[in-house]
Structure 1
Amino acid sequence: MKGNVKWYDRVKGYGFIQTEDNKDIFVHRTGLEGIKVLETGQPVEFEVEEREKGPVAVKVRKAE
């Protein structure tokens, strides 16, 4: 899946990615692969896992 970082709090280590169909997906620093932090507007690729509290972005990496 592809999207852009909507916002990311470096201190707290979480934020949201907006998908191409305008859905917001929660992202936590533990879901990042090959990058340490995310920047607002940054294009990313990721997978989505369904969890108790809703969908979570995992395997988040820079878009190619």
Structure 2
Amino acid sequence: MPTGKVKWYEPSKGFGFLVTDDGQEVYLNASALPAGTTEVRPGTRMEFGVAEGRKGAQALSVRILDVAPSVVRAKRKPAETTALLVEDLIKLLDTVSNGLRSGRYPEKGQGATIASVLRAVADDLDA
């Protein structure tokens, strides 16, 4: 069976393209992905069968060999640093909570800052 890497894949459209180890582009339909797989990242190594379709080579019976490494995971902060950020975030949210109990939302600038910190911590945790 030929092997190759995902060139691109768009889950909302349900298709993408693979590039075989010898450079041939192969169409990848969502129906060819393993059961339970709905998305693959560029660079993911796969083994697959190839059939000639109306528009050229098409992947069949895809098997994932290696998942592409996550760029976000590689760039995230060490766990100890994230723990300190979470502790500071808890203190910050406690202050916001006290204000909300008193009927006051944070000022617009402060609210935006808190939201961006929450998103950054969430991204690190979700990576």
Instruction: Answer yes or no: same fold by TM over 0.5.
Output: yes
Residues in 1 aligned to 2:25 and 2:5: alpha-carbon distance in whole angstroms: 10
Structure 2 gaps of 5+ residues are: 67-127
Structure ranking higher in helix proportion: 2
Residues in 2 aligned to 1:2 and 1:9: alpha-carbon distance in whole angstroms: 20
Residues in 2 aligned to 1:16 and 1:50: alpha-carbon distance in whole angstroms: 14
Runs of 4+ in 1 over 6 A off after TM superposition: none
Matched with 1:58 is 60
Structure 1 gaps of 5+ residues are: none
Shift of 1:55: 1.0
State, as a whole percentage, how many aligned pairs show the same letter. Answer: 34
Matched with 1:28 is 29
Instruction: Provide the alpha-carbon RMSD of the alignment.
Output: 1.2
**TM-score using structure 1 length:** 0.90
Higher Cα Rg, which structure: 2
Structure ranking higher in strand proportion: 1
Matched with 2:92 is none
Shift of 1:50: 0.9
Answer whether contact 2:4 2:18 (CA < 8 A) is retained. Answer: yes
The secondary structure found in structure 1 opposite 2:60 is strand
